[in-house]
Structure formats: C-alpha cells, structure tokens
Amino acid sequence: MGLIYHGMAGIYIHIPFCKKKCYYCNFYKSVSINRKEDFLQSLKKEILQRKEELQGEKIETIYLGGGTPSLLTIDETEDILKTVLENFSVSKNAEITFESNPDDLTYSYLKRLSATPVNRLSIGIQSFKDSDLALMNRRHRSDQAIKAVKDAQNTGFNNISIDLIYGLPKQTMENWKHNIEIALSLNIQHISSYCLTFSKGTVFYHRLKTGKIKELSDELCFNQFKYLVEQLKKDGFEQYEISNFSKPGYRSRHNSSYWLRKKYLGFGPSAHSFDFNTRRWNKADLEYYIKNVNENNTYWEYEVLDTTDRYNDYMITSLRTVWGISEDVLRSDFGEKYLSFFKKGIQSYLNSGHVLFNSGNYNLTTDGLFISDMVMEDLLYVN
Ligand SMILES: C[S@@+](CC[C@H](N)C(=O)[O-])C[C@H]1O[C@@H](n2cnc3c(N)ncnc32)[C@H](O)[C@@H]1O
Ligand code: SF4
C-alpha cells in the first residue's frame, strides 16, 4: 500500500479579510476591505491561470477559508464558486465548506448561502463565555453564536462544524465544561477544538512575553483536553484527528485529504498547494498578490520534495490522526532507512504507553496526543 492517491484532489481558497484581529491569530489577513474588489478579480485570474494544473483530476472538496469568507456577499461567493465549477472537474457530491464568523450569519445571509453550492458551514465560535470572547478580541457574543447555529439549522444546513479554543488564559475547568455542555446541546455534526498556541506577532504572544497574561499550567490544559475527548466520545463523536471530532459520516473530507496526502490547490495570498512532489505557497501579501497576478508575474515560492521531506511530511500530517503511521507505507514509500529511524524514535513511547502498535499501525493514545509535539520532534529526520 503506497501513499499516492490518484484522481482526487481539493481546492482551498483563502479570503484574506477580517473586520478586526483576534489577539491569538496569525493567519494571513488584512483588516481593511478596500481591496476586496481587486482581490476578487485577481483570485478569478489565478483560478483561470491554474486550471490545467490538476489535469482534469476530480475535485472532491472545496474549502473557503480565511480570514473571513463571511465578509463576502452571497453574490461574491457564488461568483467564486462558479469560476471553480466552470473550470475544474468538480465531483457532483463534492464537500464545499465555508468558514464564517457568527455575527456575519444573519438569518437572511444564511438563507441565501444555503441556496449556493456551499454544503458545509464552519462557524468560529471559540468560546461561549463573553469574557473569554472579549479577552480574545472577538467581535461576537455568545448569544449571537448560539443563534447563528440555530439559524443555520433552520435555513437548511445539516453539516455544521464549530471551532472552540481551550487553554485560554484564566480559563477554569468549570468554564471549559460549560463550553462543551453548550456545544453538545446544539446538535451539530462536527467540532474542531484547538489548544491555544501563542504565535509570534500576535497580541497574546506580546502579552505573554511582557508578563501581562499567563499560560495555563500543562496539567490544566491536559485535563481540559481529556475532558473534551471523553465528553465528545460519550456524545457519539469520533476523534479522527487530535483537534477534530465528528459524528459518524461527518468527518471533514477536505481536512482529511490533507492528512491522507491527497493533492490540493490553494488560491489567494498565503495559500499552499501540494501535488506530492512539490509544495508551493503564494506570498502572504495582498498588495503583492494583486499586482503580480495582474502582471502575470510569479507570486509564489515552491520547493521540490525529496524523500526526507516526504517522510517528514508523512509524520506531520499522519501522526496525530486516526489513521496513524503505517509500517507498510514507511517501508514501501520511504524504504528501510526511514523505517528503522522511525522504529528507533518511537520505541520509548511504545514502552511508556503513549503509542499503541496494532495491525501494522502506530497510533498515539490520548496521553500521547497531548505530548505529540515532543513525539514528533523525535520522529522528524534531520539530514
Ligand atoms: C483562522 S480561523 C478562520 C475562521 C474565522 N475567521 C474565525 O475566526 O472563526 C480558523 C480557526 O483557527 C483557530 N485558531 C487560530 N489561531 C489559533 C491559535 N493561536 N490557537 C488556537 N486556535 C487558533 C480558531 O479556532 C479559528 O476558528
Ligand atoms: S480568528 Fe478568524 S476572525 Fe479572528 S483574526 Fe483570525 S481569521 Fe480573523
């Protein structure tokens, strides 16, 4: 069994606008929408320029992410999707996801959105506690988030995901339990729940370095993670990746395709593309993107992947997933040298019970997932 999946691919489209910056987020975005029209024109041009890249392979998933896709009007969203659908061979049952911020999701917006080809809605809720939302500089309140989910259900969305963050400064166990209780009462199909990371360049990072906020203890973060895993499991969710949980049949096909190493094209500033042999990333700079797309110049960088890169990619994308690391794949795709390097690195975690080996597959346990950064460090091959 090898790793290359032929004939299936995904498309990611980055909408690089936000109304304001959340204090934890370092995704590429501009807080001015002055250049939205020009961006949309360039985006269309990029899609057309690159329509031959997948050589007719079927597109199984389209993902509008950001930034904030819900800052687009419905006409703008429809127009982007029309360009993709007209220029690529998109499967009839393709999963088409749209990321959104709760306060953009008015009933009338949702009603119109549900009539577009979008069939999966991802809502960035982060927390149901207003003081957490204020601390993060989010622009919505908890009641708006709950209403957005209900309105989405009432306007016909039946594949809804919400994002939640744990490990927030001052977040108590009680507060986190309350968040999960509300999330589970909403009858949604998917939850992405990330542990807060303090990324360089963010307000939170600055506040951490200057002592204005404190990280939660590892113990409390672990207890929050464990509680999340246990409660969601009890409620019928499957944890198919460290931060992703779904009801049966509702895994994100788009994110799964990253983890299963299918090809994808990424459009828009900062978007990445991957075709198994090459990784390419558009420069994270809106002005540069608009100018250079229009002038038919290069606005991306790329790297051709050698065996070490591909082995390391396999670790990064697969270790934290339900699919885990396959001994057969290690042998067939990378050879004995990488297989024995992997086996040496994983041994102590097998001994300590952080990793299980079953039917030729290595999977992290819940305890193992929590220390996955450390495990990863021991498994990445440095030339
Ligand atoms: C980049 S956002 C885009 C979605 C939308 N704009 C929103 O804010 O909800 C995607 C998700 O990444 C997660 N995220 C971003 N930065 C993070 C961080 N530093 N730590 C943990 N989660 C983070 C948040 O849960 C967020 O909903
Ligand atoms: S979390 Fe979402 S809304 Fe907030 S800055 Fe990041 S992309 Fe924008």
Q: Is the previous residue joined to 67 through a cis bond, with omega within 30 degrees of 0?
A: yes
The mean pLDDT value for 98-106 works out to 98
CA-CA distance, 60 to 58, in Å (whole number)? 6
> Whose CA is closest to atom 2 on ligand 2?
67
Substitution candidate for ligand 2 out of 14, 15, 19, 21 with most atoms within 8 A of CB: 21
Among all bound ligands, the one having the nearest atom to the CA of 100 is 1
Q: DSSP character for 114?
A: T
Is the Cβ atom of 20 under 6 angstroms away from ligand 1?
no
- Which atom of ligand 1 sits closest to the CA of residue 124? 9
If pLDDT is split at 50, 70 and 90, which confidence band does 2 have?
low
Distance 332 CA to ligand 1 centre (A): 36
pLDDT > 70 fraction of the chain, expressed in percent and rounded: 98
Per-residue pLDDT tens for 54-78?
Answer: 888 999 999 999 999 999 999 999 9
CB 364 within 8 A of CB 375: yes
If pLDDT is split at 50, 70 and 90, which confidence band does 331 have?
very high
- pLDDT reading at 347 higher than 90: yes
If pLDDT is split at 50, 70 and 90, which confidence band does 1 have?
very low
The mean pLDDT value for 180-188 works out to 98
Residue whose C-alpha is closest to residue 100's, from 75, 74, 77, 71: 71
CA-CA distance, 193 to 244, in Å (whole number)? 6
Substitution candidate for ligand 2 out of 29, 144, 165 with most atoms within 8 A of CB: 29
If pLDDT is split at 50, 70 and 90, which confidence band does 261 have?
confident
The mean pLDDT value for 314-336 works out to 96
- pLDDT reading at 381 higher than 80: yes
C-alpha neighbours within 13 Å on the C-beta side of residue 171: 34
Report the mean per-residue pLDDT for the chain: 96
Tally of CB atoms within 10 A around 35: 16
pLDDT in the model for residue 56: 82
**DSSP reduced 3-state for 172:** coil
Per-residue pLDDT tens for 114-150?
Answer: 999 999 999 999 999 999 999 999 999 999 999 999 9
The mean pLDDT value for 248-275 works out to 95
Residue whose C-alpha is closest to residue 270's, from 258, 280, 259: 280
- pLDDT reading at 3 higher than 60: no
Total count of residues recorded for the chain: 383
Cα-based distances in Å from 105 to 112, 113, 320: 11, 9, 32
Burial class (CB in 10 A: 0-12, 13-18, 19+), 31: exposed
The mean pLDDT value for 17-45 works out to 97
Supply 380's token pair. Answer: 């990445």
Is the Cβ atom of 197 under 6 angstroms away from ligand 1?
yes
CB 150 within 8 A of CB 38: no
- Which atom of ligand 2 sits closest to the CA of residue 124? 2
Supply 255's token pair. Answer: 């994110």
Substitution candidate for ligand 1 out of 12, 163, 195, 199 with most atoms within 8 A of CB: 163
Query: What is the identity of the amino acid at 233?
Result: K
Lowest-pLDDT choice from 5-14, 123-132, 302-311, 348-357: 5-14
pLDDT in the model for residue 37: 98
Residue whose C-alpha is closest to residue 300's, from 7, 50, 38: 50
pLDDT in the model for residue 15: 98
Residue whose C-alpha is closest to residue 101's, from 129, 133, 123, 134: 123
Supply 1's token pair. Answer: 């069994």
Say which residues have a Cβ less than 8 Å from residue 133's Cβ, sequence separation at least 6: 126, 127, 140, 141, 142
